[in-house]
Amino acid sequence: MAVDTEQVDAPVCAELEAFLHHIQMERGLSDNTLLSYSRDLTRFIEFLDQRGIDVLSAALSDAQGYIAKIREQGLKDASIARHISSLRSFYNFLTLESILTANPMILLRTPRRYRPLPHTLSADDVKRLIESTDVTTPLGIRDRALWETMYGSGLRVSEAVAVEFGDMDSNEGWLLVRGKGQKERWVPMSRQSRQWTDRYLREVRPLLGKDASKSRRLFLNARGREFTRQGVWHLLKQYAVRLSPPLDISPHGLRHSCATHLLEGGADLRTVQEFLGHADISTTQIYTDVDRSYLKEVHRTFHPRG
């Protein structure tokens, strides 16, 4: 990924370029993640420059002042935590490369993040959403295949729009998914997903225009071009608001719902972690809070003293 060096002061440009190159090569991060690092660190460098402080001379107190400033500007805890992580990683790199003798940001504290429970749909609401597609129309068939695949395989929207022809084995029921940092995993496809995706490929995709034949992406928009994440988000919102009563759902909400329904059905946490492509099981554990509410409901309903 090329870094826009015009956004970074000349004295520190080499260090930032080297850091971004390092994390791209060593950690295989996505372009979006690299851009986040670049923006966060450029913002910090500009903060230092306004105060006449060189990036290699910055102290912990300078970073704390920067964090206080961006908090005053209304950044949420999740964004602040990302900025702190960027600073720690950058200065750790400078230390490992012997550019600095010690990491001045090692004691920079991350704010406690409130992690709200994911918004999930009931299985009935998922069914209502998916079956609201008009499968008498070509685009309705495409949408049915898309929703079945996203929910059935627990995909992130970025993963869904990146699926290619060669990634799907509908005979065996497996889908190759490219997750964060281009990490690959195989996930099962549901029977409904296989059925509707096969139909979409046979009956609909060939009709989406000449651009469709040029793309290896599985799901395309009405003009035969590759879907964007925003395009899928808007399409799902259109379906959700047309229902009666309407649903509050996003593409990530379908993924949340898939994970929750797996746990409710008896799947163990480690299996769900692998299925979702979470590097850390603590990310998956948030779903156990949702599952506990279901457990409480079951206990209240069926226990003789519930």
The top-scoring range by mean pLDDT among 39-48, 134-143, 253-262 is 134-143
β-partners of residue 91 are none
> CA 125, 126, 131, 133 torsion: positive or negative?
positive
pLDDT tens string 64-81? 999 999 988 988 887 888
- The Cα 23–Cα 45 span in angstroms is 19
Q: Which residue matches tokens 């206080």?
A: 68
Residues 91 and 165 in one domain: no
- The Cα 5–Cα 15 span in angstroms is 11
Q: What is the CATH number of the domain that holds 206?
A: 1.10.443.10
Residues 216 and 78 in one domain: no
> CA 298, 301, 302, 306 torsion: positive or negative?
positive
Residues 187 and 147 in one domain: yes
161 lies in some domain: yes
pLDDT at 36 over 90: no
pLDDT at 106 over 60: yes
Residues 92 and 232 in one domain: no
Residue 19 sits in which domain range? 5-96
109 lies in some domain: no
68: which 2 tokens?
A: 């206080």
Alpha helical stretches, state H, 28-72 = 31-50, 60-72
Residues 58 and 184 in one domain: no
Query: Active-site residues: which are they?
Result: 156, 180, 252, 255, 278, 287
Q: Please state, rounded to an integer, the average pLDDT across all residues of the chain.
A: 84
60 lies in some domain: yes
The confidence band for 267, taking pLDDT boundaries of 50, 70 and 90, is confident
Bond into 116 cis (ω within 30): no
Residues 272 and 154 in one domain: yes
Strands (DSSP E) found in the chain: 168-169, 174-178, 184-188
The confidence band for 7, taking pLDDT boundaries of 50, 70 and 90, is very low
105 lies in some domain: no
Residues 175 and 298 in one domain: yes
Q: How much is the average pLDDT of 228-253?
A: 93
The confidence band for 115, taking pLDDT boundaries of 50, 70 and 90, is low
pLDDT tens string 137-169? 999 999 999 999 999 999 999 999 999 988 988
Residues 145 and 227 in one domain: yes
235 lies in some domain: yes
| pLDDT at 32 (0 to 100) | 80
The confidence band for 9, taking pLDDT boundaries of 50, 70 and 90, is very low
Residues 194 and 243 in one domain: yes
110 lies in some domain: no
- The Cα 194–Cα 146 span in angstroms is 11
The confidence band for 273, taking pLDDT boundaries of 50, 70 and 90, is confident
Residues 290 and 158 in one domain: yes
25 lies in some domain: yes
pLDDT at 293 over 90: no
| pLDDT at 6 (0 to 100) | 40
The confidence band for 25, taking pLDDT boundaries of 50, 70 and 90, is confident
Closest C-alpha among 180, 131, 210, 143 to residue 280:
180
- Give residue 42's Cα distance to chain centre: 23
107 lies in some domain: no
What own/partner pairs with CB < 8 Å and gap ≥ 24 does 106-113 have?
107/60, 108/60, 108/63, 108/64, 108/67, 108/84, 109/84, 110/80, 110/81, 110/84, 110/85, 111/77, 111/80, 111/81, 111/84, 112/77, 113/77, 113/78, 113/81
pTM of the model: 0.59
Residues 167 and 92 in one domain: no
pLDDT at 183 over 70: yes
Residues 203 and 260 in one domain: yes
| pLDDT at 292 (0 to 100) | 54
User: Considering its fold, how many domains does the chain have in total?
Assistant: 2
Q: How much is the average pLDDT of 281-301?
A: 59
Q: What is the CATH number of the domain that holds 60?
A: 1.10.150.130
